[in-house]
Structure 1
Amino acid sequence: MGIEEEGEERAVIFTYGTLKHGFSNHVLMQDLISTNDAVYLGVYRTVEKYPLVCGPYRVPFLLNFPGVGDRIWGELYAVSRIGLDRMDELEGITRNHYERLPVEVVRGTENVKVMKAEAYYGHRSFAEEMWKKNGEKGFCEYNQEEAKGYIKRKDRPVDVSFVDQIRLFVSSSSD
């Protein structure tokens, strides 16, 4: 699931949340682009339907339940190994926040050329509970409206891990 860029195999990553243009973690993508560790490929959407929901702090989670939800809009990037390591760190791969798994996407509204990519899905250890907590309803795009109330990592409590915050979120009673 990569493309050749300047003699280097690059991962193709579909971003659907805070890494997109106009959102708080896009600074990472800008940094990777400035060091040639990422190349923006355009606006894409998933071929399959998936649930896209928000968890604690209005953090978006794509859930790996193909065929459920909507076709999700996002951005596609070709990323170097260095860039991928930095993205994996941000997404908490080793801390069970997200897992990077395959996804098929198409450019914009086209349904012609399917691209194989990877996306960061909410970790399987809490995905089902997250879906239920959101009333088994998601949205097709993480936009400014869905992001209202998002709390940046630096402004979150440091004495509770993000996985613990997720557990608290999914086990709490609905508002």
Structure 2
Amino acid sequence: MGHETKAPTETTTTLVFSYGTLKRGFSNHVLMQDLIRTGDASFKGVYQTLEKYPLVCGPYRVPFLLNKPGSGQRVTGELYSVSPRGLSRLDELEGISRGHYVRQPIRLAAKEEGGDLETERALSSCLVEAYYAHKSYEEELWERNRRRSFGAYTEKEARGYVKRNDRPQHLSFLDHIRIFVSSPCD
């Protein structure tokens, strides 16, 4: 059994910044809880992006972070340390292989005092990733939201959120986005 010693955490886990439905109290957090239960994720604290980013809602009040540093506001979210197995489940949820979201680095700053030192060090070396809106519709989504964004996905923004299974099933995620960005603003 001696060969099963765990490798150092740096190589085995990825820090993931969650700004939307994966956060505590939101609809997809059940997946995160599942990963925490199996030891594939752990909660690291509440953090804020170092730079400003647009955080907007798309169809069905789905939140999207746009990879446009300097626009929008500093975004508050939760940081999780995730195993490779956990990461592949998150990638699946976020539709990485289907062009829904892209996972790319993001720089964070501690939102509250008392973050642990190891996490602080990892943050300063920029090992944090976030799921951003895919480039193929990012610009239109920004325009459709009249270049207005919010600093956190709260219950107010999530009001009216429709779970994936409750959306019209004959349309793909990207179809929903196309329809949304081409429809007039309310």
Which bin holds the TM-score, normalised by the shorter protein? over 0.9
Amino acid at match of 1:14: F
Divergent runs of 4+, >6 A: none
Name 1:103's counterpart in structure 2.
Answer: 106
Identity among equivalent pairs (%): 57
Name 1:144's counterpart in structure 2.
Answer: 155
What is the rounded CA distance, in whole Å, between the counterparts of 2:11 and 2:137 in structure 1? 35
Question: How does 1:16-31 map onto structure 2 within 5 Å?
Answer: 16-31=19-34
Structure 1 or 2: larger strand share? 1
* Contact 1:4/1:10, CA 8 A, preserved across alignment: no
User: Shift of the alpha carbon at 1:109?
Assistant: 4.4
* Contact 2:41/2:82, CA 8 A, preserved across alignment: yes
What is the rounded CA distance, in whole Å, between the counterparts of 1:45 and 1:85 in structure 2? 24
Is the partner of 1:126 in helix, strand or coil?
Answer: helix
Gaps of at least 5 residues in structure 1 are: none
User: Shift of the alpha carbon at 1:106?
Assistant: 1.4
Q: Number of residues paired by the alignment?
A: 171
Question: How does 1:155-174 map onto structure 2 within 5 Å?
Answer: 155-174=166-185
Is the partner of 1:158 in helix, strand or coil?
Answer: coil
Question: How does 1:111-130 map onto structure 2 within 5 Å?
Answer: 113=120, 115=123, 116=126, 117-130=128-141
**Residue in structure 1 matching 2:39, options 32, 36, 39:** 36
RMSD: 1.7
1:59 is the counterpart of 2:70: no
* Contact 2:14/2:81, CA 8 A, preserved across alignment: yes
Name 2:91's counterpart in structure 1.
Answer: 88
What is the rounded CA distance, in whole Å, between the counterparts of 1:20 and 1:8 in structure 2? 24
| TM norm structure 1 | 0.93
Amino acid at match of 1:48: E
Larger radius of gyration: 2
Q: Deviations over 1:65-120 (max 9, x none)?
A: 0010100000001100100000000000011110000001112146x947120000
| TM norm structure 2 | 0.88
Gaps of at least 5 residues in structure 2 are: 1-6
Is the partner of 2:155 in helix, strand or coil?
Answer: coil
What is the rounded CA distance, in whole Å, between the counterparts of 1:126 and 1:174 in structure 2? 16
Structure 1 or 2: larger helix share? 2
* Contact 2:49/2:76, CA 8 A, preserved across alignment: yes
1:131 is the counterpart of 2:173: no
